[in-house]
Structure 1
């Protein structure tokens, strides 16, 4: 599992599609649908209608990957911070029962409000 206490997924940018579909889709359960994807240099985060899947690409070749699945049903609290004038990055913090805080930083072009609405829709059911 990704150690979220000692790291943050940073500078995530919208991929404009499902670029890592071949890698992640085999992990989907019946009825699970892709919503959006954000990628850093090598790591990426997928939002589906059931969970957030954070993928940590490891090793020199990138063949080794760590997938951390975080169901919306386990979110106890979450926070969205929008970009400002000088600080162009936005942030998403989610607290999961049994895991603690998970933090993602998005580039200024990411629609953090839409991400917050997505989490609200599925976490508040």
Structure 2
């Protein structure tokens, strides 16, 4: 069987370009003039405003984000403390595209049942 390198290269290139469109873009902000090696402790800032009840903004997601960031900082040698930390942390999440859930009933008239008899249609 003959191996066609041009065709396989084109397929790999097309797949790479196609899959690169599925990536999520993030825009972290960092002060370039700050020496982060001088800081060794951190704490989470307490929210001053009341949280709005939302399924995308709840305590479980908040704890998951904070635990993940805390774990990464502790691995880098930082200490989590509540008394006089070097850095106070907070986060903001912005969602560009939302989703909408649409449902339709399985039956045309969900509260009415039809029975088909020999010459009639019975409705209950």
Q: What TM-score do the two structures reach when normalised by structure 2?
A: 0.22
**Greater helix fraction, Structure 1 or Structure 2:** 2
**Greater strand fraction, Structure 1 or Structure 2:** 1
Q: What TM-score do the two structures reach when normalised by structure 1?
A: 0.22
